[in-house]
Structures are given as C-alpha cells and as structure tokens.
Amino acid sequence: MSTPAILTVDDDPNVSRAVARDLRRHYGENYRVVRASSGAEALDALRELKLRGQQVAVLLADYRMPQMNGIQFLESAMDLYPRARRVLLTAYADTDAAINAINLVDLDHYLLKPWNPPEEHLYPVVDDLLQSWLATPDAATAELRVVGHRWSAHSYKVRDFLARNLVPFRWYVADDPEGARLLAAAGLTADDVPLVVTAEGKTLVQPNEAELAGNIGLTTTPASDFYDVIVVGAGPAGLGSAVYAASEGLRTVLVERRATGGQAGQSSRIENYLGFPDGVSGAQLTERARRQALKFGAELLSAREVTALETCGSARVVHFADGSRIAAHSVVLATGVSYRMLDVPGCADLTGRGVFYGSAATEAPGCKDEEVYIVGGANSAGQAAVYFSRYARHVHMLIRGDDLRRSMSRYLIDQIEAIDNITVHPHTQVCAGGGSEHLEHITLLDTNTGVERTVDASWLFIFIGAEPGTGWLDGVVARDEHGFVLTGPDLLSGGKRPAGWPLSRDPYHLESSVPGVFAAGDVRSDSVKRVASAVGEGAMAISLVHRYLEGQ
Ligand SMILES: Cc1cc2nc3c(=O)[nH]c(=O)nc-3n(C[C@H](O)[C@H](O)[C@H](O)COP(=O)(O)OP(=O)(O)OC[C@H]3O[C@@H](n4cnc5c(N)ncnc54)[C@H](O)[C@@H]3O)c2cc1C
C-alpha cells in the first residue's frame, strides 16, 4: 500500500520549509510530507494524489495567504479528502478567524505560530490527529477506478470490457461521494462519464476499447509484420490454436477484438470440460489458457478487430479496423459466434441499459433483490439463471418450447429445478420492451394462447441464437447460407473442389476455400458448439497448418 500524505501549505517559504522539515523529521518514515506554496498549488497536489488513489491524513494550512486563505483552501480540500484532519496555522492576532473556522471547515485544530519546540506544540497535536485519522482513513486504491452512470451504455461497455479482460477495478456511480470527488479531481462533471482513472492516476474520458486496452497493459500493436500463423479470435478455439502453434515453434499472433475467452469467458461455470470435475469458471479457464499461450511465446493483441482477409501470393494478409495490416503464411479463423439481437420494438435502444446480451456478470450485484428475465433455453441461459439466482429476488426464464429438455443439458436442468427462485415460463416470448432512461417494462407473449401481458422489468439478459459475424470474409472465403465457414469435405460439391481452388489436392479437414486459411470452433459450419470441441479443433488446425507449410 502507498504511504499516506501529510500536506502543508504556506506562502512564506521559510515557514513552509520549517513545517515540512519538522514534519519529515518526525513522520517521514510512515508518511509522505507534501509541501505547497499556495492554496491553488496545494489543491493541484491533492487532485493528483486523489487520481493516483493515494491517502491524505492531515492538511496543515497557513491562514494568511494571498488569493486563497487557509480556510478557503481547507474548504475546497474537503471536497477531495473529507476525512483528512484539518489544521490551521495562525498568528496570535488571527485567533478569532481560526475559532470561526472550527465550524466553517470543521477544523480539527488551530496551531499558533511559532510552534517551537515541535516536540511540545506540533507533534502531540499531529500525533492525536493521525491516531484519529487511522481509525477511519480514506481507502487507498492503487487500482483502476471507473466513474459512470448505472444506466449508461458506455459505462457498462467499459466495465464489461475490463471485467472480461480480468482487470480488477473499483466502480463508482457519478453521484456517490467518491465518484464526485474523482470527477472533481479530474476537472470533469457527471456529463463526462465514463471516466477511467488508471492506477498511475492517468484519466481517460469516455475511452474506447482500444484506448482502454492500451492503458491497462494489454498489447494492441503487433511486434512484427509477418508471422507463421495469425489466429483470429481468442475464444477457446483461438487460444487452443495459439498454445499449440507457439509451443511447436511457430511465430504466432493471436488477435482479439474484445476479450480473451470469447463466449466461454462469459460462462459462470463450465461443468462438462474434461479434467474439471468440480467445474471451472470461464474466467479461470481463460486466464490459464492466456498465460499458457504467452508462456510459449504467442503474441496476443487485444482490442483489435480484423476486418478483411486478403491473399497476396503465398502470404495471407489480415486487415485491422484502423487500416493497418499484418501477414502470415497461414491463418486460423476462430471468430466464434455472437448472440443474435432481440428484434422487438423498444429494446434496441436500451442495450447496455437494462438489456444485455450474454450473461454480463458485472451486472449481477446490481440485480440484488430484483426480478431478472432471461431469454433462451440453452446451456448458456441455464448457467446465467443459476448464477443470477444468487443475487436476484426471482429469475424468470422465457423459453419458446414446452420445457428445457430439448435445449439444455440434464445436469443444468436438475440444478434449475432445485432452485426455488427460478421459474421457467414455457412458450413465452418477449414481444416489446420500453423505458426512458433504462429498461422499465417488457411485454410477454404466450405463444400458445396469444395472450400478452406487460410486466415491470429492469433486467433482461438475452441468450438467443448465434450468428457468426463473418461478413468481412465476403468474396474471399466460402461460407454456408448462415455465414459459417465451410471447410474440408463440406467444400466439395459432387466431388468437385471449390471454385478458384488452386491446388492439386483437396482442402484439408479444417481448411477453408482459401489454401492455408483454416477455421476452428463455433465459426466453422456444422461444428459442435462446445468448449472442448473448439479447443480440439484449434489444436487440430495447427497440425494441418504444419502439413500445409510442409507442402509449400
Ligand atoms: C454463457 C455461455 C456458457 C457456455 N457454457 C458452456 C459449457 O458449459 N460447456 C461448453 O462446452 N460450452 C459452453 N458454451 C459454448 C462455448 O463457450 C462455445 O462453444 C465456445 O466458446 C466456442 O469457442 P470459439 O473459440 O469457437 O468461439 P468464441 O468463444 O465465440 O470466441 C470467438 C472470439 O473471436 C473474437 N472475434 C470475433 N470476430 C473477430 C474479429 N473480426 N476480429 C478479432 N476477434 C474476433 C470474439 O470477440 C471472441 O472472443 C457456453 C457459451 C456461453 C455464451
């Protein structure tokens, strides 16, 4: 933990030096003594300390200072450090002002100048103040802090990005006292959120994901412009590919647009992955896989979206959203799937403000004692229901079918049946939603009876269908009618190789219609949508990359 500060401000350089010297001599071991020569300078120092997440124990301000006197300074300082103990240094003639300040700025003490010897006049006072401050200090927060609005989509995006990248942070609502103090320290207002304050005290105002990534230690720029293999997407398939490729000596770069782990990273508990009899959270599995890939020397680029793929002779060129590009001998497409948007009136505008896609675990504490609605009946929805049931008053699962049996694993159905505060609503669809600042109500349609009813709802988590989002491969890589990448035997129609296929052999099993470009995991046509199969395909793609490179 960082050393708390004692700040002293006096416009007379001799007095200022003397106070700081005496304080350092006695408290220097456990406190950092910060000295300023005006109220404005002292406030700047306090703002910086605030943004760095550091504690301030005691403020000693001279009363008579030009521009801003000691009382005015202490008053402003209270907005940043309300718990710091406040001392006014006064001459005998100013005693009245000091006494008045006791009420005005809740002064803890006034100290007559000169205070010599300090052992008699200064240290006993400061010792007492430190003792009382230590009983209720401000929390030191040498960590990332986010100030935002509860119902702001941008604030949610920032929190979700940090959480999914396993970056610990502290969350403050703009109008709670510490949130307001951080905004004040950064010279901002509640209209400017989200504000991110890094552990070093750097402020990022309404940052995008690339900016965030660059400031929280994630790598966003490639170290090279040419690799043996570029893996696009860092879900289980991409991580699997990266681990195997790097461990086998291939120069490997793994590119991820949001957060490592993909869909699996959002899972509260994966219970059917081999080797984890008690289950494993998506976050844990992801973190281990990420470390494993890095250990073997794979490079991991975060917050980088791939937007195009191009063939230049034997090189495969990958384009990023910002126009830059990297190339490789081979590419593994492991871009998985994303949830389909709920296309009903009133919901689109409320995404991130009560309507969430996927489990949005960061929101769970906010659902405490509230009603939560989950749309979907597959395993992912089931896991979310179990997870949210620990927080919410009640969880409602809205499913199209009669029951969960056709869409969910037995072990999850058993768990759900045993939880009192989960209700499954069969043949029920959301047909509308609405709210002004955030989601306030949804309309439910019973598809058997055609009856609609509108219920109050602030939390709607959607787990419907999945789309591969492969539009950027148009005209380059062959896909099926739903956009999933066709590979291997699926590319052969009536025994004929795909149009434009240049080689005298058939595509390898996970190879796409472009030689040297492979697909693994959920993005592949007809793949099994599971963590284990995605990891397995990721590994298998690399053995085929070796075969491809040998044939070059
Ligand atoms: C909540 C939840 C719970 C689940 N629970 C289980 C379970 O218990 N057991 C189980 O076996 N399966 C489970 N699944 C399914 C499993 O997670 C998926 O089958 C698996 O994650 C697929 O892995 P993938 O790597 O193919 O794709 P994904 O996990 O979808 O990862 C793809 C990655 O590619 C990135 N990406 C996409 N496009 C681009 C681009 N253009 N540029 C850069 N990056 C891009 C995405 O951001 C994403 O991180 C669950 C899924 C969810 C959503």
Q: Whose CA is nearest to atom 4 of ligand 1?
A: 380
Tokens of 510: 């996970």
- What is the C-alpha to C-alpha distance for residues 244 and 257, in angstroms, rounded to an integer? 21
Decide which of 11 and 268 is more confident: 11
Confidence of residue 375 (pLDDT cuts 50, 70, 90): very high
531 lines ligand 1 (CB under 6 A): yes
pLDDT of residue 115: 87
Could you report the per-residue pLDDT of 526-541, keeping only the tens digit for each? 999 999 999 999 999 9
Q: Whose CA is nearest to atom 35 of ligand 1?
A: 233
Tokens of 189: 């207002």
What average pLDDT does this structure show over 38-51?
96
The preferred substitution site among 165, 531, 533 for testing ligand 1, maximizing ligand atoms within 8 Å of CB, is 531
**Residue 8, pLDDT above cutoff 70:** yes
362 lines ligand 1 (CB under 6 A): no
What secondary structure does DSSP assign to 303-358, as a single string?
A: S--EEEEEEETTEEEEEETTS-EEEEEEEEE----EEPP--STTTGGGBTTTEEES
Ligand 1 centroid, distance to 68 Cα (angstroms): 58
Ligand 1 centroid, distance to 339 Cα (angstroms): 10
Mean confidence (pLDDT) of the chain: 94
Task: Give strand pairing partners of 338.
Answer: 467
Ligand 1 centroid, distance to 290 Cα (angstroms): 14
> Measured from the CA of 258, which atom of ligand 1 is nearest?
47
Are 520 and 538 spatial neighbours (Cβ–Cβ below 8 Å)?
A: yes
What average pLDDT does this structure show over 32-37?
96
**Residue 137, pLDDT above cutoff 90:** no
Percent of the chain with pLDDT over 70: 99
Could you report the per-residue pLDDT of 266-309, keeping only the tens digit for each? 888 899 999 999 899 999 999 999 999 999 999 999 999 999 99
Confidence of residue 140 (pLDDT cuts 50, 70, 90): low
Tell me the pTM. 0.84
234 lines ligand 1 (CB under 6 A): yes
Are 162 and 146 spatial neighbours (Cβ–Cβ below 8 Å)?
A: yes
